[in-house]
Amino acid sequence: MSKSTKLRVLGFIGAIGASAVLVGAATNGTGAYFTESHSGAINASTGGVHVATTNLSLDFAQLLPGEFQSRQIGYTSTGSGLQDIWLVLPTDGTADSLNGIPGTPSGTAALGRYGHFAVTGPDGSFTSYNLATAGTGTHSGPTCSTDSYGRGGSEAQAATRTDYSTPFCPVPNAILLSYGIASGASANATITFGFTKLIHAAGQEDSPLAPLAQFKIVATQHGINPSDPNN
């Protein structure tokens, strides 16, 4: 074999060896692949559920039997998203005039058939002429219907003091006023109260203005009830 031929053979063998080394390097993960990266970040913040209100001190003065007065309350949704607005009564017994059980120690203030209460909002309403919760014995009877939003009630009124056919219709602890109100939107709700014609009796005239019940205007996330345990 000539010298030049030997050199060509050796060069070919060397090239094969070099290729094997490159293939092995790539297989072992030590090759020089092309790559590029860009950094990112995960950020988070919380929104808010807020409501601004007006006219929350409701005075019903110089009421006469069978004559009812109405007052308006105003509210503006100031949260970061859709909200529901509710009228909420306390559940600690201080609203017994509007939903107590007559004949029981905690319900001695219950107005029952002697009071009328109504709420009218853009997306919910309730009315009743028998504000007591049904109890037992002489204080038992049919109950009016309300839904999970506190909407409903009864328009039935007792004709006389001996008329006990009026359904028991206590004011719900939470009544929906606005459903899915947008941030920045404002609305009004009307609250009506008075004593029915059954209340007339000696010693009940000219009574001073006195607390009847407390309430709150509550904003919740859209679709969430105020009684939700996660609130």
Q: What is the mean pLDDT of residues 127-146?
A: 93
With bands split at pLDDT 50, 70 and 90, how would you rate the model's confidence at 20? very low
Residues 6+ apart with CB under 8 A from 56: 73, 217
Q: Rounded to whole angstroms, how far apart are CA atoms 170 and 70?
A: 19
**pTM for this model (two decimals):** 0.82
With bands split at pLDDT 50, 70 and 90, how would you rate the model's confidence at 205? confident
State the DSSP H helix or E strand holding residue 24, giving kind and residue range, or none if neither: helix 3-27
Residue with more model confidence, 170 or 161? 170
Asked if residue 97 has pLDDT above 50, the reply is yes
Asked if residue 1 has pLDDT above 70, the reply is no
The pLDDT tens digits of the residues spanning 182-200 come to: 999 999 999 999 999 998 7
- Side-chain half-sphere CA neighbours of 76 within 13 A: 4
